[in-house]
Structure 1
Amino acid sequence: MKNLKFLFIALILTSCGTKVNYDYEKSTDFNNYKTYNYFDEMTTGLSELDVKRLIRTMDTKLETMGLVRSNNPDFYIDIQSQEIQSRNNSNVGVGLGGGGGSVGGGVSVGLPIGGNKNTRELVIEFVDDTKTGMFWQAISESSYSPNATPEKREEQFKIVVDKVFSNYPPKSK
C-alpha cells in the first residue's frame, strides 16, 4: 500500500511537467552565435508583466550559457504563446459477452478527476535575419494557473526556461 502511494505521487508529479519539442537547422554552426536581442514587435500572447518575467528569466539563463544581450545582435528571439484549456470527458461503456453456456455483461463509467486543465504553449524561436532565418525553435507545453501569484508565475517561467534551454545548443548526432 505504501508503494502504491509513492507511485501515485510520482505519477501526479510527472503528469504536471513541462514537455518540450525542439527543431533546428542542421547546417547551423551554433558557435557563431554569441549575442542576442528580442524582436521589438513581438505578439507574445502574454500579459505585459508576464513578458517582463519571462524575458528577465531568459536573460538570466542565457547569460549563464555565455550569451550576451546586445543592441547589435547575432540573432533575434521571438516569443509566442497561447493558452490551451483541455476538458475532462466522461465516458460510459456497456458490454455484453458470452461463451460456454454463460452470458455476462458489464458497465464501465469514466469519471473525471479534477476540473479543466489549463496549459500554456510557449514557442521560442532564434532567428538570424542576415543569413539563415529561423535556425532554432523550442515549443513547450506546461500547466499553469491563470490566478497564480506573481511569485508562482516567476517560478513557473524559471522551470519552463530551464527545460527549454536544457538542450541548447543541440548536440550533433
Structure 2
Amino acid sequence: MKRVLLLLIVIVFASCAGTRVVYDYDETTNFTNYARYTYYPEMESGLSQLDEKRLLRVLDSTLLAKGFIMAEEPDFYVNVSSSSYRTPPQNNVGVGVGGTGRNVGGGISIGLPIGNSGMQRSIQFDFVDVAKDQLFWQAIAEQSFRDNASPSVREQQLKAVVDKVFKKFPPYTK
C-alpha cells in the first residue's frame, strides 16, 4: 500500500510541470523612482473576464505587499497579455516489424503517441514608464494548465504564477 501511494505521488509531481519565468529589464532603471501604478488603458490580457479579474486581484495584492499603490496619476503602467496553446504529447512508443528472406531484409517502424496533449499558457507582464513611454521591466511566465479547472484551482494557478514572477521584483541592480 505504501509503495502504491509513493508511486502515485511521484506520478502526480512528475506530471505537474513547474512555472518557467524569463525576466528582462533596463539595467539603467532606478526602481526606487516607481511607487504608483495603474493598468495600461488599452490592456487586452487574452484571458477570460473571470480569469483576468482573478489575475488582477492577485497582482494588486502582490504589488501592494511590495510597496506599490494603484493611483490615477501613476509612475508606470502595468500591461498583461497572454496566449494559450496546445502541446503535442511528449511520450511515445516505437513499434517495428521486419522480416528477411534469402538475401533481402526489410522492416518498418512507427511511433505511437502516449497520453494527451497538454495546454500551455504564456503570461507576459510589462511595466512601462508613463513619462518616458518606455518599457523598463518585463517577465514572461509559462505554465501548463487545464482549461476545465475549477475557479479555485484557476485562482491558485494564477497566484502561483504571480508569486513566482514577482519573487525577484524589483531586481537587484548595482
TM-score range, shorter chain: 0.7 to 0.9
Aligned residue for 1:84? 85
Q: Tell me the number of residue pairs that the alignment of Structure 1 and Structure 2 aligns.
A: 161
CA RMSD of aligned residues (A): 2.8
Task: Give ranges in structure 1 of 5+ residues lacking alignment.
Answer: 95-106
CA displacement, residues 78-133 of structure 1 (integer Å, 9 cap, x when unaligned):
11000011011646387xxxxxxxxxxxx987654430110100000000131260
Provide the C-alpha distance between the structure 2 equivalents of 1:113 and 1:91, rounded to a whole number of angstroms. Answer: 7
Matches within 5 A, 1:1-173: 5=7, 8-9=10-11, 12=14, 15-88=16-89, 90=92, 92=94, 112-131=113-132, 133-172=134-173
In the aligned structure 2, how far is the partner of 1:32 from the partner of 1:92? 58
Q: Which runs of 5+ in 2 are unaligned?
A: 97-107
Amino acid at match of 1:26: E
Name whichever of 109-118 and 161-170 sits farther off: 109-118
Cα distance in 2 between the residues matched to 1:164 and 1:68 = 18
Distance change (3 Å), C-alpha of 1:112 and 1:46: same
Q: TM-score, normalised by structure 1?
A: 0.81
Q: State TM-score, norm by structure 2.
A: 0.81
Cα distance change on mapping 1:113 and 1:8 into 2, 3 Å? farther
Q: Find runs of 4+ consecutive structure 1 residues off by over 3 angstroms.
A: 4-11, 89-94, 107-113
Percentage identity across aligned positions? 42
